[in-house]
């Protein structure tokens, strides 16, 4: 099924690490969560005072999710099955892509150039982050993909934006992930490397979650690219 159209601008939680931010991170939560999910992580990233950063945690709209017997919950698009090669909600992904593009445009209107904006996401949010980042018409700073997969991989070659060819990607996954198997992350990593993106791969002895070691690696990566 196709979700209802997303509102003109997604409701979001914002945290700034200092006055007059010079960079932004738009971080998407996973299925059934909300924008508060990763907000407590911000202080642990140790962003330097010289790089004040605005972290934006948007809330997904509530839609029925087929995989969860039609239960209405926060979701970025519909999910039909656990099959990596199964049918995907292309229309729902496009709606979320447009909504995230609006958030990027708002950051630009607030003085943050696109190449100082990172897209990030966990699980289903990561799928939207990589889908949007690889297709965005302006250069982005990079994308951070946590415990997720590459959606609609078969359309990437035709739809990828030249502006983001070679874009840095941090892909992190738990070896014991029983929700999004690490094999999905590895296949996504390989497809993105083959497409020319600068992929950094990290894996951890965790399930479908984020660990303290992973947070340290995320902070180091963000400090480096920003």
Residues 5 and 21: their CA atoms lie apart, in Å, by 31
Residues 101 and 90: their CA atoms lie apart, in Å, by 16
Q: Between vectors from CA 222 to CA 189 and to CA 180, what angle results, nearest 5°? A: 35
Q: Catalytic residue positions? A: 123, 177, 208
Residue with tokens 């990589």: 130
Number of CB atoms found within 10 A of residue 110's CB: 10
Task: Tell me the residue ranges of DSSP E strands in 29-116.
Answer: 53-58, 62-65, 71-74
Residues 144 and 220: their CA atoms lie apart, in Å, by 12
């Amino acid at each position: 099924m196709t979700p209802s159209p997303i509102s003109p601008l997604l409701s979001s939680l914002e945290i700034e690490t200092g006055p007059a931010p010079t960079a932004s991170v738009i971080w998407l939560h996973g299925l059934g969560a909300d924008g508060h999910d990763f907000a407590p992580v911000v202080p642990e990233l140790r962003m330097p005072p010289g790089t004040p950063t605005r972290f934006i945690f948007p809330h997904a709209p509530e839609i029925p999710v087929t995989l969860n017997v039609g239960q209405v919950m926060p979701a970025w698009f519909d999910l039909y099955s656990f099959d990596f090669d199964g049918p995907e909600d292309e229309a729902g992904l496009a709606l979320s892509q447009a909504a995230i593009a609006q958030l990027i445009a708002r950051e630009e209107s607030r003085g943050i150039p696109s190449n100082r904006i990172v897209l990030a996401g966990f699980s289903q949010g990561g799928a939207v982050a990589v889908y949007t980042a690889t297709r965005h018409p302006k250069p982005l700073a990079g994308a951070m993909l946590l415990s997720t997969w590459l959606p609609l991989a078969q359309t990437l070659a035709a739809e990828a934006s030249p502006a983001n060819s070679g874009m840095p990607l941090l892909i992190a996954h738990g070896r014991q992930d029983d929700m999004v198997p690490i094999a999905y992350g590895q296949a996504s990593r390989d497809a993105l490397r083959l497409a020319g993106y600068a992929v950094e791969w990290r894996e951890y002895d965790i399930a479908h979650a984020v660990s303290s070691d992973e947070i340290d690696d995320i902070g180091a990566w963000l400090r480096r690219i920003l």
